[in-house]
A = this chain, B = another copy of it.
């Protein structure tokens, strides 16, 4: 490994770096220090792939799965500090059941409205915009899964309004399998989101049981933003009132709703189906 910063070896539970990592599981510590954790080979690889800046990487070779971790470390080492840990110490800092020996600290960098806009337009090229608006999602696993599906479906951008879950929560990073680095994400107020939609002539699509229009029978080929609401209560009245298109996912069972990530996935993939995008 050339051009790398030297590797420091940590062995003590009392090391301030170790304590800092544990603290960053907590939102207050993330807000205060503007840093967050990226754990896992896949997640860290994606951060690096998308040019996300990494501050320091903690690793334990005993946990490596043998998927080219050394090459990833080499890439990280060009700009980040590297810390080698014995397996027992890595297990202490890991947030996972099955650690794969890689965990990084990175600065929290949110998109501005203009950086988001630029990324969205560049990702859409000449296609009609396909956006997702996630309002007040509470469970990090759901938000992560929504990001993962958005990445897979080629959604051009995700807007988080009235946020209840921090996108830099370790469980969002994990459930998103690192797609939080590939999908442009904007955190903003609902009124800023509405202005963005107006500016780009994007229609707001609300999923709600209170309509007769099945989501598979409504035209979703034009520029749209699909809105998903909180797990408990669904979309706010504000979004429902503002939406130009209302669609329903049919329910044949005893439950009156789907998991929010499942609903989001259905709606965005229906738009993909209708657009007939070639791979």
Contacts and interface: CB of A to CB of B under 8 A. Distances in A.
Contacts of A253: 150-154, 179, 182-183
Interface residues of A, number: 38
Contacts of A94: none
Interface stretch (A17-25, A189-197, A262-270): A262-270
A152 B5 CA distance: 54
Interface string A253-264: 111011101100
Contacts of A175: 259
B145 A273 contact: no
A57 to B, nearest CB: 20
Copies of this chain: 2
Q: Which of A141, A182, A269 has the most CB of B within 10 A?
A: A269
Interface string A239-256: 000000000011111110
Interface string A62-105: 00000000000000000000000000000000000000000000
A49 interface: yes
B252 A279 contact: yes
